[in-house]
Amino acid sequence: MSSRVQHILTILAVKNLPKSISFYTEVFGWEQIVNVPVYAEFKIPGGMRLGLYERKSFALNVGKVPICTITNELAPTELYFYVDDIEVAIGKFKKAKAMVLSGLSRRDWGDEAAYFADPDGNVIVLAHPL
């Protein structure tokens, strides 16, 4: 058996699954490939996938019920997306009423990036290299 990683599936635990599905569909337009009552999964170009798991069911899987959350704070998660057309991507996020955390600006590491929060406070970065 090889220990080589074949694929990484990122899964976010969300409070309101239908709202999160709507948000990610609106801002990225990804194909939804799994749709069950407590979980949805999107196919991302390049072979990656993003899962959205209803938080209470996610908590059952990890053995923490009720799940502890911090109110009015950002989740300790950042999804960093390199996009082809950053202005178009930012427009989609604003149209979806995503919370703007930091506007588009040059970053010290060589990208131009804008920071948003999804409906659950997960940080989403839209970026492109300078």
| Pair 109, 44: CB distance under 8 Å | no
Looking at the domain 74-130, which fold is it? 2,3-Dihydroxybiphenyl 1,2-Dioxygenase; domain 1 (3.10.180)
Q: What is the pTM of this model?
A: 0.80
CATH dotted code for 1-69: 3.30.720.120
Higher pLDDT, 93 or 121: 93
Give 27-53 pLDDT, tens digit per residue: 999 999 999 999 999 999 988 999 999
Per-domain residue ranges for the chain?
1-69, 74-130
For residue 111, name the pLDDT band (cuts at 50, 70, 90). Answer: very high
> Pick from 76, 57, 46, 60: which is nearest to 15 by CA?
57
Angle at 113 between CA 55 and CA 30, to 5 degrees: 50
* Percent of the chain whose pLDDT exceeds 90: 66
- Mean pLDDT of all residues belonging to the chain: 87
